[in-house]
Amino acid sequence: MSATWAVFRRELKGYFNTPLAYIFIVIFLFLTGIFAFYMGSFFLRGQADLKPFFNFHPWLYLFLVPAIAMRLWAEERKSGSIELLLTLPLSVWSAVVGKFLAAWVFIGIALSLTFPMWLTVSYLGQPDHGVIIASYLGSMLMAGGYLAIGACISAATKNQVIAFVISVVVCFLFTVSGAPIVLDFFAVWAPQALLDAVASFSFLTHFNAIQNGVIDLRDLIYFISLILFWLFANLIIVDLKKAN
């Protein structure tokens, strides 16, 4: 536990040692703002809620989260520090979880800095705060899903660009499998069960459910088991490939 904590603290501090953290946060806030106000017609809708803001999170995360995740293991492998890390007395699982949590908390910090949006709708009207809290929670869980995928793929290569591109593709599949464009394709010929199965793999399906203010246990289990699955795959890849 103390080893996980040590890795977590080192990683989280590491973000702020370089301009990476600040650039990421600024771009994240800028893009969430652009999406919400221009593309989401935040004002024109005339409704006091944050739907236009949260609606774009999956698409934003699709690129920004792999950018955070790509360096998690690829950089260690490239610089050789993985040899140092994995010959310290800690389990690979501690390293995997410590790194994941640090990146997740970092994304959480960026997300929490969007609080002026919340203040704005509160000032303009009477939003349903429960729905907003649920949406933030859903957004966080979804970011964790993207991050676990990206971390696992980062462990498989020492090239950060390759890690980024493959992560985006995999994350894209996990996103669009719930979008109408894919579901319509299946809807024509596939049985409803298959349609549901495909849709149930999508971040969108579960995120939209949470975004409506209903925190269903199934959605929580989906995200948590997805995160654990990819972290476990991450563990196995690191363990098998550590010295290559």
Partner 1 sequence: MDWMIEVEGLVKTFGHLTAVNGVSFNVPKGEVLGFLGPNGAGKSTTMKMITGFMTPTAGSVRVAGYDVDDQPIAAKARIGYLPEGAPAYPDMTPISFLNFVADVRGLDTATRRRRLDYVIANVHLEAVLEQPIETLSKGFKRRVGLAQAILHDPPVLILDEPTDGLDPNQKHEVRSLIADMAKEKAIIISTHILEEVDAVCTRAMIIAEGGIVADGTPAELERQSPFHNAVLIDCQDDGVAEALFALANVSQVEEIQGGRYRAYPKHGETIVAEVADLVKQRNWSTSRLSVESPRLDDVFRKITGVGTGTDRSENRGENPEGAA
108, exposed or middle or buried, with CB in 10 Å at 0-12, 13-18, 19+? middle
- Kindly tell me which of 51 and 78 has the beta carbon lying closer to partner 1: 78
As measured in angstroms, the least distance from the Cβ of 13 to partner 1 is 7
Count residues binding partner 1 (CB under 8 A).
24
| Pairwise CA distance, residues 222 & 226, whole Å | 6
Residue 48: how many other CB atoms lie within 10 Å: 14
Nearest to 243 by CA among 69, 87, 10: 87
* Per CB under 8 A, 105 contacts partner 1: no
By the rule CB under 8 A, 10 interacts with partner 1: yes
CB of 23 to partner 1, least distance (A): 15
Note whether 7 binds partner 1 by CB under 8 A.
yes
- Residue 5 Cβ vs partner 1, minimum distance, rounded to whole Å: 8
Q: Answer yes or no whether residue 14 interacts with partner 1 by CB under 8 A.
A: yes
Site for partner 1 in 112-131 (CB under 8 A): none
Task: Examine residue 241 and tell whether it contacts partner 1 (CB under 8 A).
Answer: no
Q: Is 5 an interacting residue with respect to partner 1 (CB under 8 A)?
A: yes
Q: Which of residues 172-211 bind partner 1 (CB under 8 A)?
A: none
User: What's the min distance (Å) between Cβ of 81 and partner 1?
Assistant: 5
Smaller CB separation from partner 1, 5 or 123 = 5
In the complex, minimum distance from the CB of residue 165 to partner 1, in angstroms, rounded to a whole number: 24
Site string for partner 1, 17-56 (x = CB under 8 A): xx--------------------------------------
Q: Min. distance of Cβ 211 from partner 1 in angstroms?
A: 37
State the nearest-atom distance from the C-beta of 3 to partner 1, in Å: 5
DSSP conformation letters of the chain: -HHHHHHHHHHHHHHHHSTHHHHHHHHHHHHHHHIIIIIT-TTTT--SSSHHHHHTHHHHHHHHHHHHHTHHHHHHHHHTHHHHHHTSSS-HHHHHHHHHHHHHHHHHHHHHTTHHHHHHHHHHS---HHHHHHHHHHHHHHHHHHHHHHHHHHHT-S-HHHHHHHHHHHHHHHHHTTSHHHHHHHHTTS-HHHHHHHHHT-HHHHHHHHHTT---HHHHHHHHHHHHHHHHHHHHHHHHHTT-
Q: For residue 235, give the amino acid letter.
A: L
Which residues in the 63-92 window bind partner 1 by CB under 8 A?
A: 79-81, 83-84, 86-91
Between CA 169 and CA 150 the distance in angstroms is: 10
Residues of the shown chain interacting with partner 1 in the complex, contacts defined by CB under 8 A = 2-3, 5-7, 9-10, 13-14, 17-18, 79-81, 83-84, 86-91, 242-243
